[in-house]
Structure 1
Amino acid sequence: MDQPQDLDTLALATAEGLARRHVGVAVAVVADGRAAYAAAGTTGSADGGSPGADTLFEIGSVTKTFTALSLARMAVAGTVELDEPLARLLPEATSVPSRGGQEITLRHLATHTSGLPRLPKGMMPRALLRPRTPDPYAGCTAEVLLSGLARTRLRSTPGRRVRYSNLGAGLLGLALARRAGTTYEQLVATQVCAPLGLSATGVTAGVTGPGRLAQGHDSRRRPSPPWNLADLAGAGGLRSSARDLVSYVRAQWECAGPDEQAEAIRLTRQVEHRDNRFSWMHLGWRAHRLHPRQGAHLQIWHNGGTGGFASFVGFDPESGTAVIILSNTRHPVDAPAFNLLRTLQDRATPHDAA
């Protein structure tokens, strides 16, 4: 990056551009060891204030990376094994589908190769698209999920191909919490947030403090009720801030130490399952490498969306660059996020990856 102010300018330009369509947005960028924050619009709350680095947003499916890191932490500690069958972590009477003689394992759930459908049994996709619908996942209790699992048919043999599944990620969070003897929120707090110093990331609004949680909005900019996802929280139930997520992505490339957290982060990226010749899945994260004409940059990322929020977290450990975009409006932010990440990568000073 040529000048420090360039980072602030890039972040602000992205925030202001998104604010034309989004009620409010917070942007964070990291390059050359420095983080810059920018925001535009409003939180949509009663006070009408502007969002900032510490404003809380629903991060939707970015939650899946926290669930996967919890898995890696527990695997490093010997509490679970990546290739342990899901059935071993669920109540004894639970019927877990299999196919081709292959059981679903924890690795399969974290890499979306379980063969499970995208949504729990009986949950209609159109329910997710209705404007201002209260949390469509509210009824996804453990009892409902496990009952539906027994009646679920796998779409492919586990381990064979990538099929994105909210159900699979949610079951992973539920199973890990059961093995740890705790709730999903406490699992993430213990396995990820406390070791990384993330003080503003959690499931319940109680972790946010009054006034810090942005109000979500649907695609027509109308207020939208929050999503909590019940016992499917491991698929998308977390809230977080731009500042916490900067700390989270920095940890993704500062993982050279011998401690369990560094070893767990390395494990998440050592696991790879090719989606196609251009992209692949790590534990929790999607990844691809751009064509040489586009700089051949590595981009590791996840996006998220709920009834009133959109999010993106992406980084490149090779150049030490990252982009976080959080919005309180249900419009995807992927395109400007990828554009901004590539701009940072093109300008970055070569970085020794951990």
Structure 2
Amino acid sequence: MALAMLSCGLAPLAAHAADDAKLRAIVDQAIRPVMAEYNVPGIAVAVTVDGKASFFNYGLASKEDNTPVSETTLFELGSVTKTFVATLVSYAQVQGKLSLDDHPGKYVPQLKGSAIDKATLLNLGTYTAGGLPLQFPDDVSDDKAIDYFKQWKPDAAPGAQRRYSNPSLGLFGHVAGLALHSRFSDSMDNKIFPGLGMRHSYVHVPPGAMASYAMGYDEKNQPGRMSPDVFADETYGIKSSSADMIRYVQANIDPTRLEPTLRRAVDGTHVGYFRIGGMVQGLGWEQYPYPVSLQQLQAGNSRAMIWEANAAQQLTPPQTPSAPTWFNKTGSTNRFGAYVAFVPAQKIGIVILANKNYPIPDRIKAAHAILQQLAP
């Protein structure tokens, strides 16, 4: 009798161990070749399946200190930051502090009557303002940013084309701060991060958390970290861990556990507004019908989509994700690379954070290979 009871107790544990081993084999098979090919010092992977998070850590957070990567290691998120900006803007809209139909001049009076003021906040948030470039010109500093927007000349009417742009999202986030009477970093620290259960994520890493901040490495494996630029906080400035980021993914997969205002804000970032080829642009997140091929994902995250203007078709009414949808966002700084993807209908998601900016197609290939094998 005692032996039979013991056997019954061990069976679930053995099955659980087998599942963990299978998941590790899937992740190893996708991640280890990428690390070897591009000499990536360290990668943190987090996977969520039906609400359960698993962590897989590879290599070093700092080669100089021989510090291993863990799920609490802080990585630069690059443009994954833009999804948090979108969440903050959506949060402000839920509270009635702004509307996506507003124009930037409502919050920045210097812009009233300028070309940029013909665009709406929705245009800024979806890169469809009319041709704002990927980066600010080199001679534009923080104190000259508004002057730059005031003098900017569009290439197209608002809504006609999508051109991926840090200035566009930077102004989007800047307006949210003005509407909330708070700096972007303060809003993140005091409202968004705590509400999402992210207790170790930062726009500005405090001294007490610097020991967890990974060192990044460039193509020549020289160490360093990001240098702030115009609207850096709002466009590529957040640092986070795989543990916090998988909580963020889980909150996007199932926002019902969030307090009502934040839940509605997260839901708002899942609405699609413009179709560009096979991709739908929402606020922060980019969307694809699921199941989605690797080729379609790589096309939607290609250099042409990042560097060039692409024709945009506005969706009227906006697209709510009633059908299964793959959401994703890439992010890069000079020495870090990130990719986040999730499919709410399948309750699966992944975070891949690296302290080297290796090619985007390889990040997507690894994530796609892993999630394909995890879908029910």
Task: Note if contact 1:121-1:152 (Cα within 8 Å) is conserved in structure 2.
Answer: no
Return closer, same or farther for 1:84/1:216 CA change in 2, 3 Å cut-off: same
1:1-354 to 2 correspondences below 5 Å? 3-20=19-36, 21=38, 22-44=40-62, 46-90=64-108, 92-94=109-111, 97-98=114-115, 103-123=118-138, 140-141=141-142, 143-206=143-206, 209-256=209-256, 259-276=260-277, 278-289=278-289, 298-349=325-376
Task: Note if contact 2:92-2:179 (Cα within 8 Å) is conserved in structure 1.
Answer: no
Structure 1 residues 206-240: Cα deviation after superposition (integer angstroms, max 9, x where no partner): 17613110111112221134233353421111111
- Which residue in 2 is equivalent to 1:134? none
Q: What secondary structure is seen at the aligned counterpart in 2 of 1:325?
A: strand
Q: Unmatched 5+ residue regions in structure 1?
A: 125-138, 350-354
Following TM superposition, by how much is the alpha carbon of 1:120 offset from its aligned partner in structure 2, in angstroms?
A: 4.9
Structure 1 residues 219-271: Cα deviation after superposition (integer angstroms, max 9, x where no partner): 22211342333534211111111111100011112124671111111111124
Q: What secondary structure is seen at the aligned counterpart in 2 of 1:42?
A: strand
Return closer, same or farther for 1:269/1:96 CA change in 2, 3 Å cut-off: farther
CA distance in 2, matches of 1:253, 1:292: 17
Q: What letter corresponds to residue 112 of structure 1 in structure 2?
A: Y
Following TM superposition, by how much is the alpha carbon of 1:9 offset from its aligned partner in structure 2, in angstroms?
A: 2.5
Structure 1 residues 137-170: Cα deviation after superposition (integer angstroms, max 9, x where no partner): xx641x2211111221122211222211111011
CA distance in 2, matches of 1:298, 1:66: 19
Larger radius of gyration: 2
Return closer, same or farther for 1:332/1:252 CA change in 2, 3 Å cut-off: same
Q: What letter corresponds to residue 335 of structure 1 in structure 2?
A: D
CA distance in 1, matches of 2:328, 2:208: 25
TM (norm. structure 2) is: 0.80
Return closer, same or farther for 1:284/1:3 CA change in 2, 3 Å cut-off: same
Q: What secondary structure is seen at the aligned counterpart in 1 of 2:210?
A: coil
Task: Note if contact 1:255-1:265 (Cα within 8 Å) is conserved in structure 2.
Answer: yes
Q: What secondary structure is seen at the aligned counterpart in 2 of 1:113?
A: coil
CA distance in 1, matches of 2:199, 2:83: 17
Task: Note if contact 1:171-1:232 (Cα within 8 Å) is conserved in structure 2.
Answer: no
Return closer, same or farther for 1:248/1:106 CA change in 2, 3 Å cut-off: same
- Which residue in 2 is equivalent to 1:133? none
CA distance in 2, matches of 1:59, 1:240: 7
Structure 1 residues 25-68: Cα deviation after superposition (integer angstroms, max 9, x where no partner): 11111123221111212112542111111100111000000000
CA distance in 1, matches of 2:365, 2:121: 29
Q: What secondary structure is seen at the aligned counterpart in 2 of 1:314?
A: strand
CA distance in 2, matches of 1:165, 1:96: 22
Return closer, same or farther for 1:291/1:251 CA change in 2, 3 Å cut-off: closer
Following TM superposition, by how much is the alpha carbon of 1:316 offset from its aligned partner in structure 2, in angstroms?
A: 0.7
Return closer, same or farther for 1:8/1:208 CA change in 2, 3 Å cut-off: farther
CA distance in 2, matches of 1:154, 1:230: 20
Structure with greater strand percent? 2
Return closer, same or farther for 1:343/1:39 CA change in 2, 3 Å cut-off: closer
Return closer, same or farther for 1:236/1:217 CA change in 2, 3 Å cut-off: same
Identity fraction in percent: 23
CA distance in 2, matches of 1:10, 1:342: 8
CA distance in 1, matches of 2:112, 2:147: 8
Structure 1 residues 152-202: Cα deviation after superposition (integer angstroms, max 9, x where no partner): 112221122221111101111112112222221112223421111111212
Q: What letter corresponds to residue 249 of structure 2 in structure 1?
A: V
CA distance in 1, matches of 2:207, 2:178: 22
Return closer, same or farther for 1:223/1:84 CA change in 2, 3 Å cut-off: same
Give the 4+ runs in structure 1 shifted more than 6 A. 291-297
Q: How many residues align?
A: 330
Q: Unmatched 5+ residue regions in structure 2?
A: 1-15, 297-322
Q: What secondary structure is seen at the aligned counterpart in 2 of 1:269?
A: coil
